Structure 1
């Protein structure tokens, strides 16, 4: 009886197996990303007309069916594989207008010296109006000739065995905190391993590179010269590193004050994703739990830093891009944009680096 039952089940399943084998597979719908149409070999920016726009034409993306598409023009420095692209402009048609002054500032922030030319990579990101994945077109290299009077603040980053990322020069390296009143003065208070480190100006590039050759003054290789020697940390511990390009001097002093560690630190305010209702959590470095980081899109408004999702410990200041937050200080003004935000809970220093 048991054998007959098994045979009966086999007879029942066999047609289903055969039928399944004969089922037609759904057709694969091909998709084609948008790309730049006849891109120029050089974009020359002069700054003579503050209302000037640069017009880019793109080919339409094909998602295999009709739908609305938003085209976003992105730019990044060559060789970075668009790890940190900037969005220059967007459109729901195949013509994208980019503000020339903004393009100039973005190109300079990506490493082109103001008043000089250099290559940048551009691509088109096509975002569908339905629940489909965005398509990204092939990158195109275009030389951008910049003008020099754009005010771009210099950012500086740590690299070396004494620091959090070791000798990896493109791993979201912690920045030095720029003084809000003196753009040539930088301060970093935190943990260092014994060993050497240097300071870089552009992540992913080894020049401009700062170090010291005599142990007391700053030396730099701006590019094409000889790299300086390292700044030396004598032993593991907390230090304050002061780096002053106005006097070309630096100082590395052991930190004697007690260090307080917080469970969480976050950003909060009208310019943040959660408004004043809740903190958006930052991430502490494993190397040093007092250095906090988040990449966030802000809107025009205000924000503060606070610990442990409560107001008992909070930091604020009145300077926008960088500053020194104090307990119950004023709200920090912020402008719309996407930023890599760093905060130091040891001394309240913060810096916002636009992506």
Structure 2
């Protein structure tokens, strides 16, 4: 009897092993296909005469393997950048997407095409599903874009060099200079610099236009067809105010005597922000200089302010929309809807919003 039980026990132990060795059906792999641009102008010439002028893109629909609503977004970036700085130009839940010509113009100028001139831009379709699946990006199409001189297309400038946060990397979230709201050729940056040299760039990821100095007193520039200038020199690590005047072709680098303490957090708040007036949206703090904060945010029409430590004891406001110098308990900053890279300096309250 004991021998029979032993045999039955052995069979019982072997059965799971036999079953576990049998073939297991793998779940089927559902193929997914990204959306692509089906038709678009072979070249785009923007003239700016009609603010409502649109450029029409038709797309081949994406296939997520199951029926669902899909939002198609036309994106643009300069060639060779792998859409690292992609601009969302327009969207639709249909396969026809209309993009405002003014939006293409503004984003093309900010990505290196000089106003009034022509150059290549890459376009693609980003398909965003209504269900919890990852978005799909289609293949890039290169289209030549001729821009126009848009009076609201403002120059943005960025720091590069061993004296600055990102070293000589020209496309690594380089800190922006703060443009004066009244004088578009005047820029100010107050903050920490290492000892060494730095330059100023106009377009992230491109080495020209490039600004520096050859004589230590005046601004020199290589717009793209000349020789690169020498660096601005920082004699010793510390806090400085760098003033950069393109109209006068002059600059200054003045030490800051008294540097205030840093805040734990700084955020944006207001009707134009994601949390309204109920809560701040935290900004990122630059590790190199904790007085500098940045954030990429999609804002709606409305107002906003900056405030420290999620409290109203310290808050900054101003009456200029794109750039300015905010002050304690200042007015609400007016906001026009869009996606922006926002830079803020708690040393002096300066801010700038850069179209994305």
Question: Could you tell me the TM-score, scaled by structure 2's length?
Answer: 0.95
Q: Post-superposition shift, 1:43?
A: 1.3
Alignment of 1:5-154 (within 5 A): 7-8=10-11, 10-19=13-22, 22-154=23-155
Q: Post-superposition shift, 1:101?
A: 2.2
Q: Post-superposition shift, 1:83?
A: 0.9
Distance in 1 (CA, whole Å) between partners of 2:6 and 2:171 is 68
Partner of 2:38: helix, strand, or coil?
Answer: coil
Q: Post-superposition shift, 1:241?
A: 0.3
Distance in 2 (CA, whole Å) between partners of 1:239 and 1:147 is 37
1:281 alignment partner in structure 2: 282
Alignment of 1:182-261 (within 5 A): 182-261=183-262
Partner of 2:102: helix, strand, or coil?
Answer: helix
Q: Post-superposition shift, 1:16?
A: 2.2
Distance in 1 (CA, whole Å) between partners of 2:155 and 2:40 is 30
Distance in 2 (CA, whole Å) between partners of 1:17 and 1:300 is 61
Distance in 2 (CA, whole Å) between partners of 1:5 and 1:266 is 71
CA contact (8 A) 1:319 1:332 kept: yes
Residue deviations 1:179-220 (CA, integer Å, cap 9, x gap): 111111100000000000000000000000000000000000
1:339 alignment partner in structure 2: 340
Distance in 2 (CA, whole Å) between partners of 1:79 and 1:69 is 27
Q: Post-superposition shift, 1:5?
A: 9.2
CA 1:6/1:215 → structure 2, altered by over 3 Å: closer, same or farther? farther
Query: Which stretch shows the higher mean deviation, 159-168 or 62-71?
Result: 62-71
CA contact (8 A) 2:268 2:281 kept: yes
CA contact (8 A) 1:243 1:250 kept: yes
Residue deviations 1:286-331 (CA, integer Å, cap 9, x gap): 1111111111111111111111111111111111111111111111
Partner of 2:84: helix, strand, or coil?
Answer: coil
1:172 alignment partner in structure 2: 173
Distance in 1 (CA, whole Å) between partners of 2:321 and 2:225 is 35
Q: Post-superposition shift, 1:149?
A: 3.9
CA contact (8 A) 1:105 1:150 kept: no
Give structure 1 stretches of 5+ with no counterpart.
none
Partner of 2:304: helix, strand, or coil?
Answer: strand
Partner of 2:106: helix, strand, or coil?
Answer: helix
1:163 pairs with 2:164 = yes
Q: Post-superposition shift, 1:10?
A: 2.7
CA contact (8 A) 2:198 2:231 kept: yes
Partner of 1:278: helix, strand, or coil?
Answer: coil
Provide the aligned C-alpha RMSD in A.
1.7
CA contact (8 A) 1:158 1:198 kept: yes
CA 1:306/1:16 → structure 2, altered by over 3 Å: closer, same or farther? same
CA 1:51/1:277 → structure 2, altered by over 3 Å: closer, same or farther? closer
1:327 pairs with 2:316 = no
Query: Which stretch shows the higher mean deviation, 247-256 or 65-74?
Result: 65-74
Partner of 1:11: helix, strand, or coil?
Answer: helix
Q: Post-superposition shift, 1:164?
A: 0.4
Distance in 2 (CA, whole Å) between partners of 1:4 and 1:177 is 84
1:268 alignment partner in structure 2: 269
Distance in 2 (CA, whole Å) between partners of 1:150 and 1:125 is 30
Residue deviations 1:94-144 (CA, integer Å, cap 9, x gap): 111111222222211221111110000000011112221111101111110
